[in-house]
Every structure is written in structure tokens, then in C-alpha cells.
Structure 1
Amino acid sequence: MTPTATDAQQSAEIQQVIKPVPFFFREKYSELIVKGNFMTLAACPALVEEGEWLAHQLVQQNQLLNGNLKMMQEVDTSTRMPLCNQHNCPKMLAGPHTTYTWLDENKWPVEVPAPTYISYVQKWIDGKVTDVAIFPTDTSNNARHPFASQPSTPSVASPTSNPLSQSSAMGSTGDWLGKSSGFPEHFESTIKSIYRQMFRCYAHLYYGHWQDFWDLGAHKPLNTCFLHFINVGRVYGLITNKDVEPMQPLLNIWMAKDFLKADGAA
């Protein structure tokens, strides 16, 4: 008897149903190392200007992310290679349907190995946060540079281009985020671009290296850092629902537990 188109469709649906759910999308593995309200960690103090607060949050999130990335950059004594290497991770993947590409010198999207992509991101972010035109250090304008103690990033090859084209300025006149603290008009679009790249690194850590974090007993700290990252991004609209789609099942678990607000950025 020849299989029909309906039979093939049903078979595909069955395969989809029985496809194993990644461990990091299962509730029993969504635990954290701290308890409490993450909204408290994100809330801007009453006497702090929001631009300064977001600059502070950004450096904190960058430090936490770099700590998790460093674990995957440590050399495995058995293979003498980092856990995230060009052989294990030839592409910057976040699941079977998401591959992140970099922009080359001609602004063409190109696929690069995950460790190369991550190195580019770290170098690019470091260049942004130490740029006084974006994060001013002139205290005479009531601006304070929150990155004075920014940890040095690993020495890496210089990226050939910014990973994301910058959005247009918030407006040619009037107020903008961080204006009173000396931040430029494009400050908000810059930190949103940085946040999107940081998310991509987190997504790869889950899809490419969750088992490594489990073996190291570090999956709970990873969850905690990522939840804090997502919460800040949602509270201040630094990241969109579309951006976080690859990790949505985990976010759904945390929303069901009231760890995250259900109404994220549009």
C-alpha cells in the first residue's frame, strides 16, 4: 500500500511530538541559585537618572555574561581545546532554526564559528563602552563613566564590522535617554544593539553548551544570570519578543512562576 500525503504529514507530526525537549526547556532544570524578586534588582533608584542606571546595568550584565563565557573558553585538559571551539561549534547557532551571522567589511552577513563570533562581540562591546563619545567621562557635565572598572576582555582579532547597524537617533531635538547625564542621542539605540548581541551569546551557551554547564554544576548560576539579564531587558525595553524567540520556552517557565512579567517588550 503506497503511503499518502496525509500519512506523511501525520508521520511528520508524530516525529515533532516525540522529539526530545532540550533539558534547559524543562521545568526541573530551570532552578536558580537565589530567591527573591528580580524586579528589585532592576528597579532604578529614585535619585538616579535612568540613563546612568542603564549604563550601570549594562556593565553589570556584561560582567556576568563574560563570567559565563569564560567557562566555555577554558581549555579542556582531555582535548586541549576550549569547550567552545571551531570544531564543536562551527556556526553561531541558537537551535536548529537560528544561525547568527556577522557583517563583514562589505556589510555582507557571513557565518563564522561560534568562538569567533563571541570574540567579535566581546571586542565590539568593549570598544563601545570605553568610547567616551558614547559613555562620557566628563564629570563637569554631571556624567559619570560607569565602566571605569570594566574588566579587560580577552585579546581577540578585531571584528571587521559592527554586528548590527545602529538605529537612527531618538530625535534631532528635545530630550532623550541619558541627556541630563551627558549621554548622546544615540545612547539608547547603542545599548539596545549591545543587549541583542549579549542575548545571542546567552542563547548559544544554552543550545551549544548546556551539557557542559550541567557537568560543571553551573547550570543554576547560568539560569540566574540569564533571568536577571532578561528581566532588565524587558523592564527597560532593551530587547524585543522577537529577539528572545529562541529561548521563549524557558522564559515561559519563569513567567509561570512569576519570576518574569508576562508583558515583555513588544
Structure 2
Amino acid sequence: MSVTLKQVFNKDKTFRPKRKLELGTQRFELHKWAQASLNSGVDLKSAVRLPCGEDVSDWVAVHVVDFFNRINLIYGTVCEFCTEKSCPVMSGGPRYEYRWQDEHKYKKPTALPAPQYMNLLMDWIEMQINNEEIFPTSTEIPFPKNFIQICKKIMCRLFRVFVHVYIHHFDRILQMAAEAHVNTCYKHFYNFSIEFNLIDHKELEPLKDMTSRMDL
């Protein structure tokens, strides 16, 4: 029996605090617009399109924060089953392995257990979206020139969470009867990524067959 999204994605299982958009700001209004479009049953390809007269960086910023929050919750539902024993390497099946690299501890691509990789991934994204110089909360502060490039890296890394969850932990999602919610989130994420060219097609390969069977 299907359960509600609120029941499935318990806020206590969230890896990180949700980044909230400030009430009354232009970006909060864009967030409400985006949510209203989704809830109205509008075709997802139409829902992700940039509203007339709006700035593309604002639209991307709102969605990147929302995707981080949602995917954070999705992984939170399976994280107790994603252990160093069950997932000794961050992967998407036998053909795809993801190695972590950053500017601090892991300066070369390093193989890590999936839960450790996920922690680093969520930490890194949280740092980006909470950095006022990258994701300014005031519309009076301009986005950095490399903003879209940063968002591409964020979206690429978030996609890897979907890959791991779908390939290694989807049985848990099925047990919770939450597949419809996860699939909807994935479709929204995928369509947005394609609309704004935010993920390289090579990165999409691990879920290519599944995606082709979905009603996108």
C-alpha cells in the first residue's frame, strides 16, 4: 500500500538541515511557482522551463537547492542499509565506480565506501549552497561568473546518488512503497538537467536503460 511522501521521507532521516529560501524574496516566489507547476500535474518538460522574464541563474539556484533537499531525504531513507560492508565502494553496479576528489584531503580520485563518499558529497554540496558568494540570498548580490559551472558539478554529484540508490538500494524503496515518489523526483531532476544542459550525457549512462523506459 502506498504511503505519503511525508511518511516516507522522515525529516529526522535527513543527512543535512534543509536550506530554506527566505519568505518574501523573489527566489521564494520562484520556488512557489515551481512547486505549483509540479503539483498542478503539468507535464514535467513544461514545468522545468524558465518562466518568461525570469533570470536563468535564479531559476537554476532555486531548483538546485530543492533537488539537494529532496535527494538528501531519499538517501536518508536507505542510509542505514548503505554500509561499508554492503557497499565497500561507491558504485552504480559493476561497470561504474565513483571516486572522490576535493581540494583538501582527497586531491587525487580516491575509492571510498559508499557511505563515506555520500557524507563527503553532501558536505561539499551543503558548503556550496550555504556560501553567500555562490548562492547569495539577496537578489541584489550577483551570482559569480562560474555559477552555472558550479551547479553542473553539484547536479552531476547528485545524479550519482540516484545511480547508487536505484542500482543498489531500490529494494528498500520498493519495500516502503515509495517508488512513485522517487521516480517523480528523478524525472523532475532529469528533465531539468536536460533542459539546462547541466549534466554531461556520459554521466547519464548508468541509468540510461531505466530512463528510456520511463514516461519522461
Quote how far apart the aligned CAs of 1:46 are.
Answer: 1.2
**What pairs up with 1:116-265 in 2 under 5 angstroms?**
116-139=116-139, 141=140, 143=141, 182-254=142-214, 257=215, 259=216
Give the match's secondary structure for 1:184.
coil
Kept after mapping to 1: 8 A contact 2:155/2:199: yes
Quote how far apart the aligned CAs of 1:251 are.
Answer: 1.5
Q: What is the letter of the counterpart of residue 70 of structure 1?
A: G
Kept after mapping to 2: 8 A contact 1:34/1:224: no
Q: What is the letter of the counterpart of residue 86 of structure 2?
A: N
User: After the TM superposition, which segments of 4 or more aligned residues of structure 1 sit over 6 Å from their partners?
Assistant: none
Structure 1: runs of 5 or more not aligned = 1-32, 74-81, 144-181, 260-266
In structure 1, C-alpha distance between the alignment counterparts of 2:43 and 2:188, rounded to whole Å: 10
Kept after mapping to 1: 8 A contact 2:96/2:206: yes
Quote how far apart the aligned CAs of 1:36 are.
Answer: 4.4
Give the match's secondary structure for 2:180.
helix
1:105-130 deviation digits (Å, cap 9, x = unpaired): 35211111111111111100000011
In structure 1, C-alpha distance between the alignment counterparts of 2:77 and 2:40, rounded to whole Å: 20
Q: TM-score, normalised by structure 1?
A: 0.63
Quote how far apart the aligned CAs of 1:34 are.
Answer: 9.4
In structure 1, C-alpha distance between the alignment counterparts of 2:161 and 2:72, rounded to whole Å: 10
In structure 2, C-alpha distance between the alignment counterparts of 1:249 and 1:190, rounded to whole Å: 28
Give the match's secondary structure for 1:99.
coil
Structure 2: runs of 5 or more not aligned = 1-38
Higher relative contact order (CA 8 A, sep 6+): 2
Kept after mapping to 2: 8 A contact 1:213/1:219: yes
In structure 2, C-alpha distance between the alignment counterparts of 1:128 and 1:106, rounded to whole Å: 18
Larger Rg over CA atoms: 1
Aligned length: 176
When you count helix as a share of all residues, which structure comes out higher?
2
1:227-246 deviation digits (Å, cap 9, x = unpaired): 11010000000012111000
Could you say which residue in structure 1 is the equivalent of 2:97?
Answer: 99
Could you say which residue in structure 2 is the equivalent of 1:109?
Answer: 109
Quote how far apart the aligned CAs of 1:138 are.
Answer: 4.2
Could you say which residue in structure 2 is the equivalent of 1:40?
Answer: 46
Distance 1:138 1:37, change over 3 A: closer
Quote how far apart the aligned CAs of 1:35 are.
Answer: 5.5
Could you say which residue in structure 2 is the equivalent of 1:70?
Answer: 76
Q: What is the letter of the counterpart of residue 132 of structure 1?
A: E
From 83, 86, 90, the equivalent of 1:85 is 83
Give the match's secondary structure for 1:127.
helix
Q: What is the letter of the counterpart of residue 56 of structure 1?
A: V
Q: What is the letter of the counterpart of residue 129 of structure 1?
A: I
Give the match's secondary structure for 2:169.
helix
Give the match's secondary structure for 1:89.
coil
Q: Percent identity?
A: 28
Quote how far apart the aligned CAs of 1:137 are.
Answer: 3.3
Could you say which residue in structure 2 is the equivalent of 1:170?
Answer: none
In structure 2, C-alpha distance between the alignment counterparts of 1:212 and 1:249, rounded to whole Å: 21
